[in-house]
Amino acid sequence: MNTLKSKIRDIENFPIAGVTFRDITPLLADHILLQTAVQAMVKPFRESSITAVAGMEARGFIFGSLAASDLGVGFIPLRKPGKLPHQVKKIDYQLEYGSATLEVHLDAIQAGDKILLVDDVLATGGTARASCQLVEQLGGVIVGCSFLLEITALNGRKQLTNYPLTSLIHY
Amino acid sequence: MNTLKSKIRDIENFPIAGVTFRDITPLLADHILLQTAVQAMVKPFRESSITAVAGMEARGFIFGSLAASDLGVGFIPLRKPGKLPHQVKKIDYQLEYGSATLEVHLDAIQAGDKILLVDDVLATGGTARASCQLVEQLGGVIVGCSFLLEITALNGRKQLTNYPLTSLIHY
């Protein structure tokens, strides 16, 4: 995974002073390594009879749709409020500073669907946990959570102990 | 393309009264048809020596990353302001009501790169035109613009007469 890590760029003091942002855009520009990354992200779940991949707006749309394509299943977008046009289920959740909301179409998930949650970064885990809960509120089963990279010091994994979890790169 | 159209759901009065929104989420849920759509979207440009696909936040991330994967090239995200962490080029542009801004990393595009712009919907064309201009300001060449669907009454095509343009579904 050192090769993958070479395509993650550290940006100091973004979005705020004192924070090092892990910029994945160099990886997006390298289609071979991006494909390698997506294949590795779904590999632990390839035999898990996944029925769909869910991904969070916005960067989760990139990794989520590629993961869904690789697995040969549909993609379910989890969106910021007011973006999905049909009837939605929503979840409000706390972030380090303030709160946020995610929505999913009511008919995007049927009871018993086996869902893989995909995002690029696992940080505090708040968004990922809310996403899992949202899927479960519609009767879906979270078969696992897969991330490109994990900021281990933020301990987001602790929010997701109910689920098999994988991440390719650790900081 | 009638099969594809069966996976686009009409939502009346969204986002505002009197507007019919074309909801692509049923297509996202059908991986075979989604793959068919993406392959058809890139087909006219397959022999155009594309070096990268650019897609606009947020739904353009889905179709753009899948198109890039299909073509075997990198993906360049065009983002809303403040999201990209490294040095950016930005463009402000007018919408029907108000204005908007898109940003791209300065180092995402080299002079002479041959870029395919991908999005799900061509409506008024304002965002697509701004996206093309942004790519060109960095020295990139827009080889074409490809959309899943086009709202022909809004005449967005008129904003993009400089570029080869394809769309699979017309309303």
Among A22, A46, A59, A129, the one annotated catalytic = A59
CATH of the domain at A111: 3.40.50.2020
pLDDT category of residue B1 using cuts at 50, 70 and 90: low
Burial of B131 (0-12, 13-18, 19+ CB in 10 A): buried
Whether residue B136 lies in the annotated active site: no
Strand partners, A118: A55, A146
pLDDT in tens, B37-81: 999 999 999 999 999 999 999 999 999 999 999 999 999 999 999
- Residue B96 has a pLDDT of 77
Averaged pLDDT score across all residues of chain B:
97
Among B57, B59, B136, B157, the one annotated catalytic = B59
Closest chain A residue by Cα to residue B105: A25
Q: What is the dihedral of CA A27, A44, B58, B147, to 10 degrees?
A: 90
Number of structural domains (chain B) is 1
- Residue A1 has a pLDDT of 67
**Phi-psi region at B103: left, alpha or beta (left = phi > 0; alpha = psi -120 to 50):** beta
Cβ contact, residue pair B84, A35, below 8 Å: no
Whether residue B22 lies in the annotated active site: no
Tell me, yes or no, if B126 comes closer than 8 A to chain A by beta carbon.
no
Tell me, yes or no, if B52 comes closer than 8 A to chain A by beta carbon.
yes
Closest chain A residue by Cα to residue B59: A61
Closest chain B residue by Cα to residue A51: B29
pLDDT in tens, A106-159: 999 999 999 999 999 999 999 999 999 999 999 999 999 999 999 999 999 999
* Whole-complex ipTM: 0.97
Whether the CB-CB separation of A101 and A81 falls below 8 Å is answered with yes
Which structural domain range is residue B103 located in?
A: 2-170
How many Å apart are CA B128 and CA B25, to the nearest integer?
A: 21
